[in-house]
Amino acid sequence: MPPTLAPVRSTATTDYYQLTMQSAPAQIIPGFATTIFGYNGIHPGPTVYARRGRIVVVRQINALPDVHPTLGYRCTTSVHLHGNASLPQYDGWAEDLTPPGFFKDYVYPNEQPGRTMWYHDHAVDHTAENVYMGLAGFYITNEGPNLPLPKGRFDIPLMIKDVLFTPDRQLLFDAGEEDKGLMGDVILVNGKPWPVLKVERRKYLFRILNASASRAYRLALSTGDPFTFVQTDGGLMPVPQSAAEFRIGAAERYGVVIDFARYPIGQQVVLRNLDLKNNENFATTKQVMRFDVTAEATSLSNNTVPPVLTPGNSAGDPMLLQPSQAVRTRDWQFKRRREAWSINGEFWDSGRIDADPALGAVEIWRFQNTSGGWFHPIHTHLVDFKILDRNGRPPAAYELGAKDTTYVGEDETLRVIARFTPHRGRYMMHCHNLVHEDTHMMTNFEVGKGGPSPTSVPPTQLPAPPL
């Protein structure tokens, strides 16, 4: 389990945290020291557990080396709290860069429904390398209603990613063909290769995040039993859903409940990774981790999945939106141009606005991946959306909740609907295959007029005053 980050101090309204991005040795392969980039020198970074309605300020200090020791780029950073409706100047705009020896204080209002988020690097041109090296951590806000879902030590975040190693057990960044991206042959969960978790005979909630640079997963249990889905990117689903397998692209999050009470003590249950088109599969990537049932339940409190998770839905929930509310439909085509992946035939240009929804407007965005060849996990900053359909058919059962990232498979067309709120300003949409992102498969849109510039709060040179 990643450690929990404690506030540096708290006031009546605000909790203050501090994180330092730094190079450090980590024991990933037993007996070897692997150099990583980590928040506070660890991967995953410490988990922030924030309370809805309380402001959080996170000081992010860039103490990385000036130049990457093997790849040679300058180690600038930009921290994105993925899934948060941040103001533009705190959203991790790709060109809002903090160089080594500087820091920036990020302000988060935490006004959205509770959810599983993650903070990660978003620096232009080098997001893939920085995240791959370890700059990622969980940020979790409480779901609000006192539901009897598993809590405490039975509520476990799982950050899944794949990596490659050199013969001396250092991380190897090899993007290979840019069509594909980076595909590793070692699966890490919370920074450890193919770990084993000892579990009791009761229900557990797992917050599963795909933090891979490029790989998607098709997850299933070795027993064939179904997962019970209770959360998507945007928090609790309206009602639980069930599926025996699910597809999860880079940056997507799903909260699943597994009931180990159905297994006897001594049972081993493997979280498997099934084949998926255009992944590079290895013998070692067919399993992710293992659960060993080792004891009877020591507690049966919070051991229920209620039939309704969000009674009546909350105000502003995108799951309540209907196509009739949309004031327009925009088309986004993901296709090849100049040997790279583009959005509507264009590449990243921070000065170009490609969509201008009014503040509060409801729009349908059509994601079209009709040129074939690859899949794209598409992420919209600021807003949660509802998937209306996929190739004219209803979305998968596990997608029936608010999303901010969606898998757009080969030759697929999706329609999603969102209300563009709560802030004015410029935000990004991009492919979360980070190799595609770094080859500028990004665009930006502006909500309303007169919002703050994404670069209006520049970083400050160290030393930093006390928070």
**How far is it, in rounded angstroms, from Cα 196 to Cα 356?**
48
By the 10 Å C-beta count (0-12 exposed, 13-18 middle, 19+ buried), 6 is classed as exposed
Q: What is the pLDDT of residue 311?
A: 81
Q: Give this prediction's pTM.
A: 0.97
What pLDDT tens digit does each residue of the chain (467 aa) get? 899 999 999 999 999 999 999 999 999 999 999 999 999 999 999 999 999 989 999 999 999 999 999 999 999 999 999 999 999 999 999 999 999 999 999 999 999 999 999 999 999 999 999 999 999 999 999 876 689 999 999 999 999 999 999 999 999 998 776 667 899 999 999 999 999 999 999 999 999 999 999 999 999 999 999 999 999 999 999 999 999 999 999 999 999 999 999 999 999 999 999 999 999 999 999 999 999 999 999 999 999 999 999 887 777 899 999 999 999 999 999 998 888 899 999 999 999 999 999 999 999 999 999 876 789 999 999 999 999 999 999 999 999 999 999 999 999 999 999 999 999 999 999 999 999 999 999 999 999 999 999 999 999 999 999 99
Helix (H, G, I), strand (E, B) or coil at 55: strand
Helix (H, G, I), strand (E, B) or coil at 7: coil
DSSP 373: S
User: What are 319's two structure tokens?
Assistant: 């799951």
Amino acid letter for position 382: L
> Do 419 and 448 form a contact (C-beta atoms < 8 A)?
no
Number of Cβ atoms within 10 Å of the Cβ of 338: 8
